[in-house]
Amino acid sequence: MTDQGMPKVNAEFGAQPTIEFEGEAPAGLKVVELVEGDGPLVRKGDTVTVNYHGVTWGSQSVFDSSFQRHQPASFGIGVGQVIKGWDQTVPGHNVGSRLVVSIPPEYGYGSQGVPQAGIGGDDTLVFVIDIVSTR
């Protein structure tokens, strides 16, 4: 599935993500819901549990993946505990959803990037996010 110049991602909740890139990263913050879950809606201020897989645009080199650790992550959403790109895209989706999110530097780690993770200051981040639960 491609939408708004987004990469192709397997639309199977819970499966190890595969990401295929074509062309340049889209401008701005973009989110595509690949699978619509039928669980509770995630709201700002919730504690959300997710599985996620993160790469920089155009790369297959993973900088962080809870799928690879086989351990979902939990954190407050919409409250500044994670990068702005997550705070602005995860709320409003249901548990059971698979999202693909394209996050430009201003919604990610900024112009400094995270060099130790291989993230440059001008890199667009791409996350596949499976929403496991919310409370």
Q: Residue 35: inside a domain, yes or no?
A: yes
Give me the residues of the chain with pLDDT under 50, please: 1-2
Q: Residue 105: inside a domain, yes or no?
A: yes
Range of the domain at 128: 8-134
Q: Residue 31: inside a domain, yes or no?
A: yes
Residue 71, C-beta contacts closer than 8 angstroms, at least 6 positions apart: none
CATH of the domain at 63: 3.10.50.40
Q: Residue 3: inside a domain, yes or no?
A: no
> Is the distance from CB of 108 to CB of 85 less than 8 angstroms?
yes
Instruction: Specify the pTM.
Output: 0.96
Classify the C-alpha dihedral 15-117-31-51 as positive or negative. positive
pLDDT tens-digit series, residues 4-29: 699 999 999 999 999 999 999 999 99
On the CB side of 110, CA atoms within 13 Å amount to 2
Burial of residue 49, with CB atoms counted within 10 A of its CB: 0-12 exposed, 13-18 middle, 19 or more buried: middle
